[in-house]
Amino acid sequence: MSMTIKAIAEASGVSAATVSRIINGTARVAPEKRAKVLAVMGERREPIRRRERTSRGINIGVLLLPEAHFDSFSMLDKLCELTDTLPRKSILTLLSPNILPQALEGSFRRGELSGMLIGGHRIESEDLRRVVERIPHVWLNSHWLEESEKNILMGNEFAGRLAARYLKKCGCRMPAVLRLASLNPGYAAQCDGFLFEYFSMKQECLCIELKFPSASDLLETAEESILEQLLESKELENADGFFFPEERLTTLYYRQQMKRGVPVRHPVVSCNHTPRYLCGYYPRPATVDLGPRQLARLALNELLDIINDGNTLRDKITTIVTPLLTPGELYDATTCSENRNTGVLRSFSMQDAGNSSLQHSAASERSDPL
């Protein structure tokens, strides 16, 4: 049963007017009083009681956290899908990552906000996190719940397993996956899925741990020059195939090889949201598409169900999207040797290696169950 304003005021030792101001976000309140009230509401996990609007329209807020721009192409795809599938008489509103918790709470309390979709991996502000917990919401990414608790979209592990199966079919005897510190908990899940698949096949593989110079560096925030230095690791020379769980690593690896005048001879799989941006490379890497548009559509449907159900605190089922693997090309040494005097880029054939059976087998991974 929901607590009344009077009950919250008595439990937190403040006046009912103060509780009302905090809930509605209509006036400034001393931080210590706000903390007491939010603590009482947070301990009981009280949903915010909102005033119903007379209009039947639904206003969905999209909170893009600061790190969301590191995956801007994917986020744009998700926003486009949301606008395409949003019900009639509904509004999609972008919310600032710097929004005050009391302002967000007030908007929902007054019926100006029906629910939220969140893009990013972590809400740093504890006050904002407490408010979000009491508003209907669904995340668009794998994310951190607390300092050590995380919620990972299930498609991430399967993406790693698809990459392992593809490199196996390519004949790789010692493939490698690159593990780096990342804000996205889904990155580690992709690495784990890759390693588990090779473990289940009883075949060896490499997990190359690349350490940043500074403990504060992350894959999403590190300078390009730092990542290029890490990719110069001698450990990469021991591998005959690569799985890059993030497309930024894929592009830097190809760039590094081109600067050296060395073709990419081993199969490469890149896990990313925008495979079309890698189609200009030769040999074109295989890509695992995590389906950002489908994810956005399912997340919106789940949020609408929560709003219509009226139970803000109900247990949510993690949105599940099945990744799709698009086969890449294999290095053609014969074609390259015939054109060795025409420059690094011209020395590559734009035709596939011709192993149609391999491509057919890899394409079947799109629908293989775990």
Pairing of strands 150-151, 137-139: unpaired
Summarised one tens digit per residue, pLDDT across range 114-158 is 999 999 998 988 889 889 988 999 999 898 887 678 888 888 999
Same domain? 139 vs 256: no
Summarised one tens digit per residue, pLDDT across range 24-42 is 655 577 878 877 887 777 6
Domain assignment of residue 278, yes or no: yes
Domain assignment of residue 50, yes or no: no
What H or E segment, with its residue span, contains residue 137? Answer: strand 137-139
Q: Give the domain-ending residue among 309, 342, 357.
A: 309
Query: 227-251: buried (b, 16+ CB within 10 Å) or exposed (e) per residue?
Result: beebbeeeebeebbbbbbbbbbbbb
Average pLDDT, the chain: 81
Q: For residues 235 and 167, what is the distance between their CA atoms, to the nearest angstrom?
A: 18
Task: Identify which of 229, 234, 272, 233 has the alpha carbon closest to the alpha carbon of residue 252.
Answer: 229
Same domain? 71 vs 200: no
Distances in Å between the alpha carbon of 325 and those of 177, 306, 328, 356?
17, 32, 9, 16
- Would the pLDDT of 337 be above 70? no
Domain assignment of residue 241, yes or no: yes
Same domain? 228 vs 354: yes
DSSP letter assigned to residue 121: S
What CATH code is carried by the domain that includes residue 247?
Answer: 3.40.50.2300
Q: For residues 119 and 67, what is the distance between their CA atoms, to the nearest angstrom?
A: 9
pLDDT band for 61, please (50, 70, 90 cuts): very high
Same domain? 101 vs 210: no
The pLDDT of residue 346 is: 32
DSSP letter assigned to residue 132: H
Same domain? 122 vs 230: no
Q: Which residue has the tokens 């905090």?
A: 22
Domain assignment of residue 318, yes or no: no
Domain assignment of residue 26, yes or no: yes
The pLDDT of residue 250 is: 93
The pLDDT of residue 179 is: 95
The pLDDT of residue 354 is: 37
Q: Quick one: tokens of 94?
A: 């972008």
Q: For residues 345 and 264, what is the distance between their CA atoms, to the nearest angstrom?
A: 11
Distances in Å between the alpha carbon of 73 and those of 7, 63, 78?
47, 16, 9
Question: Which residues are bridge partners to 60 per DSSP?
Answer: 92, 115
Q: Count CB-CB contacts under 10 A for residue 255.
A: 14
Do residues 120 and 67 lie in contact, with contact meaning Cβ atoms separated by under 8 Å?
A: yes
Do residues 101 and 34 lie in contact, with contact meaning Cβ atoms separated by under 8 Å?
A: no
Domain assignment of residue 351, yes or no: yes
Backbone angles phi, psi at 88, to 5 degrees: -65, 155
Summarised one tens digit per residue, pLDDT across range 96-119 is 888 888 889 888 988 889 999 999
Same domain? 198 vs 80: no
Kindly report the pTM of this predicted structure: 0.75
Q: Is the torsion defined by CA of 18, 20, 26, 32 positive or negative?
A: positive
Same domain? 14 vs 119: no
Do residues 318 and 153 lie in contact, with contact meaning Cβ atoms separated by under 8 Å?
A: yes
Locate all alpha helices (DSSP H) within the chain, ordered by sequence: 5-12, 16-24, 31-43, 72-85, 101-109, 126-133, 155-169, 185-200, 224-230, 247-260, 292-309, 333-338, 356-363
Of all residues in the chain, what percent carry a pLDDT higher than 70? 79
End-to-end distance of the chain based on CA atoms, in angstroms?
42
Counting the structural domains of the chain, the total is 3
Q: How are strands ordered across the β-sheet holding 115-119?
A: 90-95, 58-64, 115-119, 137-139
Q: Quick one: tokens of 305?
A: 């169900």
The pLDDT of residue 175 is: 97
The pLDDT of residue 353 is: 37
Give the domain range for residue 35.
5-43
- Would the pLDDT of 236 be above 90? yes
Domain assignment of residue 102, yes or no: yes
Same domain? 77 vs 117: yes
Q: For residues 205 and 218, what is the distance between their CA atoms, to the nearest angstrom?
A: 24
Same domain? 339 vs 202: yes
Same domain? 232 vs 263: yes
Task: Identify which of 166, 187, 347 has the alpha carbon closest to the alpha carbon of residue 266.
Answer: 166
Of all residues in the chain, what percent carry a pLDDT higher than 90? 43
Do residues 215 and 182 lie in contact, with contact meaning Cβ atoms separated by under 8 Å?
A: no
Q: For residues 242 and 239, what is the distance between their CA atoms, to the nearest angstrom?
A: 7
Same domain? 136 vs 178: no
- Would the pLDDT of 351 be above 80? no
Q: For residues 62 and 115, what is the distance between their CA atoms, to the nearest angstrom?
A: 9
Same domain? 162 vs 256: yes
Q: Which residue has the tokens 């490499």?
A: 206
Domain assignment of residue 314, yes or no: no
